[in-house]
Structure 1
Amino acid sequence: MKTQHTKSLITLAVCAAFSSSVIAQDNADVEQKNKEKFEQIVVTAAPGGATMQEASVSVSAFDESDIIKLAPRSTAEVFRALPGIRAESSGGGGNANITIRGIPLATGGSKFLQIHEDGLPVLEYGDINFGNADNFLRYDWSVANVEAIRGGSASTFASNSPGGVINMISNTGELGGGAIGTSFGVDYDEFRLDFRYGGEISDDLYYHIAGFARNGEGPRETGYNGDQGGQVKFNITKMLDNGHIRFYYKNLDDKVSTYLPSPVLVKGDGEYGAVPGYDASSQSLNSAYNTNISTFDAYGNAENRDVRDGIESKVSSFGVEVDLEVAENLYLLNKFRISDISGGFIAPFTDTFPEGPGDVSDFAASLCSSALDGDGNALNCDTTTVTLANGPDAGEVYTGEAFTNLQFDTRINDLGNMINDFSLRKEFDNGFDVTVGYYYSNQDIATSWSSWQTFIQTLDGSNSQLLTITNGDGVELVSNGLLSPSFLSWEWDLNYVTKAPYMNVGFELSDNILIDASVRYDTTEASGELISSCCGGNADYDINGNGVIEQIEDASATNSGFIYGGVINLNRAGASSQIVNYDASNTSYSVGGSYLLSDTQTFFARYSKGGRAIADRLLQISGTLNTDGSLTDTTSGYDTTKQLEVGFKYGTKDLMVNATLFDTVTEDTQAEVTSGLTFMREYEATGLEFEGRWTATDNIVVSGNLTWTDAEISKDVNNATLEGNTPRRQADWIWTITPEYVTDTWSVGASLQGSTEYYVQDNNDLKQDGYNLVNLFATYWVNDQFSVSLNVNNATDEFIITESEEGSAEVGSYIRARPLNGRTTVLSMKYMFD
């Protein structure tokens, strides 16, 4: 019964599965779509040739008509509707935290889950410091399908992805036609244009081009246009007698505001809300008055930075895919891509609350009492005054609330990579097939953490202002808001080469029993250097050109008291350096099988072990590297995940139900920037995933998923008191339920996305109550070509935090947390044409 891996069959299945659109559709269309999904060939991180119904893996797929119902405001919000996926999209258009099946989400990014674009990873490592994979990926109409493999064969068919793979698969133009559309933020400032077009150039040559452009403030108030840029993707496919060759090109140049932890009010046990004057779910601590800062790099060179850049993502990629039957039943598949990736990450992070709730007066007095003059004498602190340093009321006395802003500031110099995945697959007449392959990846990590500065500012969601603090003698303790000119300055210049031969053997023991076994051997060659220095240079430098040597520009200036050490005269020659020069290896394996009870029912089981190279975060963990860059006995350079899963699939034209029981054990070696914590842990998780779609009547369709997870920290090398606790941000239940009513001319529905309560830190004290987000959508088709849509994300305006820097807090106090966006509404118009 196993489907043969031929180009014609893959093209037929993929075209059918991706052909649905948001034009009017009746019940028969929906039933056909359900049927096609089960006949769709799995093309992501799985043994070749099996359909979704046959494959012994947990696999899900969304197309455009599914995604529009989620009312996503970012790529991560597309992912969060996949079964078993926990995608925290509280960071804005990027900087999301994504994980799967109870595997830990100890820091940012997606460590154990890889994000692919057309079958190759966007970045080899999804949790690079300030370089999350979703920062360099955008969902738009170029995407035909989002396919996700959870667990299983992801361990052996992809490197560094033992938890799973999410793959965004591009339209390739087989169907022809195009569309253009605009969308507007109804209750926030953003305009966006999307387009796509594709078709045949000749009988054996077709193409597709698509992209978007946007501009606006974004879903939260920043005081300026923080979201601006766009993307273009193009591919062209040449059909051959024995397969195809395809060329890809992508150019992404986009900026989005990112939202770091900021002040949130603890209203009750598990309940949170806005602090006076600032609502973190709809406002930000960004400000039109504080858009440019003057700083130094790790070499002591002066530079200016623009806070409006936010997450700046620049990607230029070129790729080639070759899929050929090179001899009878012998198939060659090669995917290649080279990417130039750069950009930056800059945003305010709430370091402390000087006096909150309350005014800033006590903070000013405390600062004065701890400060000394140039001769080491105490200052006159009988009185202190706090005034606004900028903005329309500059110079006026300020007695409100304030916060200290540790300005996260990273330049992404180079995250480029070159990746190639080559495989040969031989099918035999007796139902036996063998795949052998070789994977190569060269990933650069070159970033500059530029002398993070600390400012004191008004706690204000509408253009926060800098503060100046003076003592009774008029001495400026803080000038123009600058508390500290340097918290740190790190220069990263690393390279990771991954090489991985792999092999899969498949058997058809009978017409209804399929078994496969695979193995992968990854080696990582790491090299480079981390330069750690403070900043300031060795000479006075008038950075802003105003003719005055100010505090940050004074090479001899020092500060004392609570602040972070002032300016230290270290340049590159005097900085500390950690060399990286090691090899690490890991063997992964996966064994699974399917029992096809009938055309509509399948049982499957699989056991897998996969590895994840630790990459750049290893350098932040003491004792893992020797001075010569080699690994110590503390680490192997890899973390591993072991997974057992047993599942059942049922699919007909009007009902689909998948259920998978899973058990995982994960090692995690991590470093957290914001807290400075490092840890080496083991986690265990057991859970059950449900996914389904039901065509209830001629007009009513219900789809969704539900995941139960029981997870715990089973071992902690540094803090045994945490053993037995539930990992941070891990809920017992998460779900997405989408009911929809469809007619010939309009449709309406809701996407209900929710979670039971979870602890925000590993000490299991402070928690977020369970919640249910209501996302609404409606579409009216004026005719077969033109439609108007309205979607509302978080329609009931729930205030939900996904993470907190604090693990304990009293009711009425402030914590530093990241909430999901409040209510946002988008009106869209779309015109489709041949």
Structure 2
Amino acid sequence: MTERFSKTPVALAIAGLFLTQPLVAQEEASPAQQPKEKFEQIVVTASPGGATMQEASVSVSSFSQEEVFKLAPRSTAEVFRALPGIRAESSGGGGNANITIRGIPLATGGSKFMQLHEDGLPVLEFGDINFGNTDNFMRHDWSVGLVESVRGGSASTFASNSPGGVINMISNTGESGGGAIGTSFGVDYDEFRLDFAYGGEFNRDLYFHIAGFARDGEGTRDTGFDGDNGGQIKLNVTQLLDNGHLRFFFKNLDDRVTTYLPAPVAVKSNGSFGAVPNFDASSQTLHSAYNTNVSTFDAYGNPRNRDVTDGIESKVTSFGFEADLEVAQDLFLLNKFRTSDISGSFISPFTDTFGGFGPQSADSMAQAICGSALDGQGNSFDCSSTSVVLANGPGAGNNYDGLALLNLQFDTELRDLGNLINDLNLRKEFNNGMTLTVGYYYSKQNIEATWNSWQTYIQTVDGNNSQLLHIEDANGEALVNNGLWAPSFLSWDWDLQYTTTAPYINLGFEIGENWLIDVSARHDEVKATGEVINSCCGGNTDVDINGDGVISGNTEDASAINGGFFSGGVINLNRGGAAVQAVNYDASNTSFSLGGSYLYSKELTLFGRYSEGGRAIADRLVQIPGALNADGSLSDTTSGYDETEQLEVGVKYATADFQLNATLFDTVTQDTQAEVTSGLTFIREYEATGLELEGLYEFGHGFTLQGNMTWTDAEISKDVFNPALVGKTPRRQADFIYTLTPQYQSADWLFGASLQGSSSYYVQDSNELKQDAYMLVNLFATWYASDRFSVSLNVNNASDEFVITESEEGFANPGDIIRARPLNGRTTNISLRYEF
């Protein structure tokens, strides 16, 4: 493809919107003391090779390292949420984010319809693995030179399982040389972090980059212990050849972060929410230094001791390489390979409502539990009175009459989410302007996980180290024994493997001087094997859970739950063998994309694209009733894939001081899902129409305004299990989301604000309870004390807005307490950086 604009003024102007700067450069001054380098950037993510951002017939955006700083991110998801069209809910803390795009639904969690990549390959093949969200296993740090996103379009055919789009974190490679070291710490929260980066040449043809971070502390909310602890190191080495380059990658991530699950939140009105007495879910958690160790069982009855402070534990060791070579005249080979060992765990308190036992006063909780409880012989308890005392911590044994909750302890061990991925393609460029690309993609993704026997506790609603509660009936019989209401809720064991193969082809050609057209197709096939065991604790042997030498009441554990249910404080099980579901099926999907750009002038490009793509349903398919036959094959109710269709048309305009991209899109999405927290399953179709705007205006004298806005009109167009929802707006889907970043930069100072907001949205598909419109004000400022040393301050959510991203309840009255996940309240951070 001819690079028409590579030396024209428009190329320099466009780069103001998509600026890429090296993190550090030994020979250069600080960003405040040098002019911005502007150039036209080649799109490298999920799109035909060789096209610039101005030429490409896809919607693409990027953030450099300097631009990411202005967002005041506290997690990787908070970097993504400023990209146009991306809805990234970062209320889970340092991981467990829900991410979607262009009105495509968030029926459950993760990032089902879009993939998160590092250097052009997915971190996980499936973005919504149960308790294995992709963002759990990636961190944004100084190793990343550019965050690039492609929305819709060619993502359907240039990547598997990502019909909605791809976000790609692209590594610094060290060409410019130099390094940096920096520290940061929370002013109003407990965390200390060290970052470093260094790159340069071994010799003229061999260069490297190494970067990483280490941190320790409670994190952005009070937990009572240091739950954010660990770090990452990433290294790449590049060998230049006469006909291209070879690049080798290494990554080691060993990190723990506390994750925040739905917790008690007060309803002020329909749309406005806040803290409950003694607990603010936006700055506190229901974790506790008094309740950090859990004794439980795996799915086979083996005892397990678990540490609640592990939170989301992420361990990744990966090695990969990239070969980009001209193997013959005008024939280019590109091969990307990575193998990764990935494991970890997920443990955190979840506020549940078994039998209507939602957050309420301790006395009413005790009466509700007593009224529905049966002892081991099936007899009722004496509920003429009940007593509630603190079971541990300060004042243990004292009466308690405050708020209480039922804590279902989510407890999952991710034994193996490792994968092996290779993407190979050959691109031939012809003299007549035609380009032909053929490729073959191979991926093997393991999903081996144990859902330990989840236990349920009754404890205080308290943001300062929640305490367990002991509850007795009028005769002194224990209904809740030292906090433990039921020792086993469920236990699953997942042992699955998914092998994906995908040949693909792209044909691009030029028509005259102004038209660029490409058409591409991809055929994905997935082979799924393994089994899932639905059990609890194994065998038919009662176990002394509390170790007092007596098997009684709810201190006993029992056999496999096969349709069993809790009856008050004593577990009442339908004892029997574990249910085993074999998984052994093949599924396939063919994707298609047709796009074109019209280069009207050096300042103006018009483009359009139609795409059809697919997403293998993966592990959640096992949870859909009737989806699999007894032998593991697919039933007639599913093809094993969900599909997305997208039509988009857009315009890209740029002058020396003004850039604007606008894209109109229409999307139809099928979604097959299972939701752990509610037990519901979904087989639906969604439709969405919308408009993305992204732009930059330089006022001069150091003043700049950059931002984006997305309008979306979405609805549920089909629902197999609940047709009454047809026509409703999908949960958590706002009409408008936006990010605006005004800033001022001088020789010694940079300061500004990142304004991120949303119009109102419904928190459930019933369209009753909503979150009002909001705007988060994130402030940033940097003082360049010298060419090499800078001090920065950023404040996230400066006005301390209380905003929920999701709620387990779809209806509530003012004064009610619901279970919801809010965004972080105000957090302030100071950082220092020295470049060398």
TM-score, with length taken from structure 2: 0.95
> What does residue 495 of structure 2 align with?
493
> Structure 1 residue 356: deviation in Å?
7.0
Give the Å deviation of 1:549. 5.6
Q: Distance in 1 between matches of 2:538 and 2:84?
A: 49
Does the C-alpha gap of structure 1 residues 543 and 703 become closer, same or farther in structure 2, counting only changes over 3 Å? same
1:510-659 equivalence runs, <5 A: 510-535=512-537, 537-539=539-541, 541=543, 554-555=556-557, 561-562=567-568, 565-566=571-572, 574-659=577-662
* Number of residue pairs the alignment of both structures matches: 820
Give the aligned partner of residue 151 of structure 2: 150
1:201-220 matches, cutoff 5 A: 201-220=202-221
Checking the alignment, whether the CA contact within 8 Å between 1:272 and 1:799 is kept in structure 2 is yes
Contact residue 110 and residue 129 of structure 2 kept, 8 A: yes
Give the direction of change, closer, same or farther, for the CA distance of 1:480–1:334 in structure 2 (3 Å limit).
Answer: same
Shift of the 556–65 alpha-carbon distance from structure 1 to 2, 3 Å rule, reads: closer
Within 1, Cα distance between the matches of 2:815 and 2:250?
52
Query: Does 1:807 find its partner at 2:810?
Result: yes
1:778 matches 2:781: yes
Confirm or deny: 8 A CA contact 2:706 2:740 kept in the other structure: yes
Question: Contact conserved, 2:295 with 2:305, CA < 8 A, in 1?
Answer: yes
Q: Within 5 A, what are the aligned runs for 1:450-461?
A: 450-461=452-463
1:515-549 deviation digits (Å, cap 9, x = unpaired): 00000000000011000012265445566767666
* 2:801 corresponding residue in structure 1: 798
Matched, 1:240 2:241: yes
Could you tell me how far 1:55 is from its partner in structure 2? 0.5
| Alpha-carbon spacing, 1:663–1:559, altered in 2? closer, same or farther (3 Å) | closer
Indicate the residue corresponding to 2:291 in structure 1: 290
**Deviations for 1:290-326, whole angstroms, at most 9, x for unmatched residues?**
1011101100111111000000000000001000000
Do the aligned partners of residues 172 and 564 (structure 1) sit closer, same or farther apart at CA in structure 2, a change above 3 Å counting? Answer: farther
Distance 1:253 1:761, change over 3 A: same
Question: How far is the alpha carbon of 1:512 from its aligned partner?
Answer: 1.5
Paired AA for residue 404 in structure 1? L
> Where do residues 101-500 of structure 1 align in structure 2 (5 Å cutoff)?
101-352=102-353, 359-500=361-502
- What is the Cα deviation at residue 450 of structure 1? 0.5
CA–CA separation in structure 1 for the residues paired with 2:427 and 2:570: 59
After TM superposition, give the deviation of residue 824 of structure 1 in Å: 0.1
Task: Tell me if structure 2 keeps the 8 A contact 1:486–1:567.
Answer: no
2:684 alignment partner, one of 662, 681, 686: 681
Offset at residue 238 of structure 1 (A): 0.5
Q: What is the CA distance between 1:378 and its match in structure 2? A: 3.4
Percent pairwise identity: 68
Aligned residue for 2:388, secondary structure, equals strand
Within 1, Cα distance between the matches of 2:30 and 2:735?
38
Q: In 2, distance between residues paired with 1:158 and 1:4?
A: 27
Tell me: CA distance 1:390–1:653, structure 2 relative to 1, closer, same or farther (3 Å).
Answer: same
Cα distance in 1 for residues equivalent to 2:518 and 2:378:
74
1:721 aligns with 724
CA distance in 2, matches of 1:611, 1:197: 40
After superposition, give the CA deviation of every residue in 1:555-602 in whole Å (9 maximum; x if it has no partner): 5699963358446666xxx21100000000000010001111122211
Tell me how far apart the structure 2 counterparts of residues 563 and 673 of structure 1 sit (CA, whole Å): 23
CA RMSD across the alignment: 2.2
Q: How far apart, CA to CA, are the structure 2 residues paired with 1:104 and 1:384? A: 45
- How many angstroms apart in 1 are the aligned matches of 2:495 and 2:357? 39
The answer on 1:2 being equivalent to 2:2 is yes
Q: Which amino acid is 2:737 matched to?
A: I
Q: Is the 8 A contact 1:21 1:64 kept in 2?
A: no
Aligned counterparts of 2:450 and 2:377: Cα–Cα separation in 1: 35
Distance (Å, rounded) in 1 between the aligned partners of 2:830 and 2:79: 18
Aligned residue number for residue 744 of structure 2: 741
Is 2:702 the counterpart of 1:699? yes
The 1:358–1:334 alpha-carbon spacing in structure 2 relative to 1, beyond 3 Å, is: closer
- Superposed CA deviations along residues 391-414 of structure 1, whole A, max 9, x for unmatched, are 021111111110000111100000
Whether contact under 8 Å (2:411, 2:452) holds in the other structure is yes
Secondary structure, counterpart of 2:109 in structure 1 = coil
User: Is 1:693–1:703's contact at 8 Å kept on the other side of the alignment?
Assistant: yes
Asked if structure 2 preserves the Cα contact closer than 8 Å seen for 1:313 and 1:342, the reply is yes
Aligned AA (2:316): V
Closer, same or farther in 2 for the Cα pair 1:346/1:20, shift >3 Å?
A: closer
Q: Which residue in the other structure is 2:59 paired with?
A: 58
Change (3 A) 1:630 1:559: closer
- Report SS of the residue matched to 1:47: coil
1:373 is displaced (CA, Å) by: 4.1
Corresponding letter in the other structure for 2:442: Y
Question: Aligned pair in 2 of structure 1 residues 263, 531: CA closer, same or farther (>3 Å)?
Answer: same
Q: Secondary structure at the match of 1:76?
A: helix
1:154-173 Cα deviation digits (max 9, x unpaired): 00000000000000000111
Partner of 1:709: 712
Task: Report how far residue 480 of structure 1 moved.
Answer: 1.2
Give the conservation status (yes or no) of the 8 Å contact 2:32–2:784: no
Cα distance 1:206–1:549, how it changes in 2: closer, same or farther (>3 A)?
A: farther
| Contact kept? 2:24, 2:835, Cα under 8 Å | no
Runs of 5+ in structure 1 lacking a partner?
none
The alpha-carbon deviation at position 41 of structure 1 amounts to 0.7
- Answer yes or no: is the 8 Å Cα contact 1:487–1:564 preserved in 2: no
The answer to whether the Cα contact below 8 Å between 1:355 and 1:362 also exists between their aligned partners in 2 is no
Report how far residue 657 of structure 1 moved.
0.7
Contact 2:537/2:558 (<8 A) preserved: no
Query: How many angstroms does 1:105 deviate by?
Result: 0.9
Shift in Å, 1:24: 4.4
Whole-Å separation in 1 of the counterparts to 2:369 and 2:677 = 23
Contact 1:242/1:325 (8 A) holds in 2: yes
Extract unaligned runs of 5+ from structure 2: none
- Tell me, yes or no, if the aligned pair for 2:376 and 2:570 is still in contact at 8 Å: no
Aligned counterparts of 1:382 and 1:103: Cα–Cα separation in 2: 52
Q: Deviations over 1:462-520 (max 9, x none)?
A: 10000001122222221111111111100000000000000000001112110000000
CA contact (8 A) 2:374 2:570 kept: no
TM-score by length of 1: 0.95
Closer, same or farther: CA 718–369 of 1 in aligned 2, 3 Å: closer
Contact 1:86 1:100 in 2 (8 A): yes
Secondary structure, aligned partner of 1:209: strand
Instruction: Summarize the Cα distance change of 1:533–1:24 in structure 2 as closer, same or farther, 3 Å threshold.
Output: same
Query: 1:651, CA displacement in angstroms?
Result: 2.0
SS at match of 2:567: coil
Q: Is the 8 A contact 2:352 2:358 kept in 1?
A: no
Is the CA contact (8 Å cut-off) linking 1:535 and 1:569 kept in structure 2? no
* Structure 2 CA distance for aligned equivalents of residues 235 and 104 of structure 1: 36
Contact in 2 for aligned 1:536/1:553 (Cα 8 Å): no
Quick one: distance in 1 between partners of 2:394 and 2:172? 50
Contact 2:421 2:444 in 1 (8 A): yes
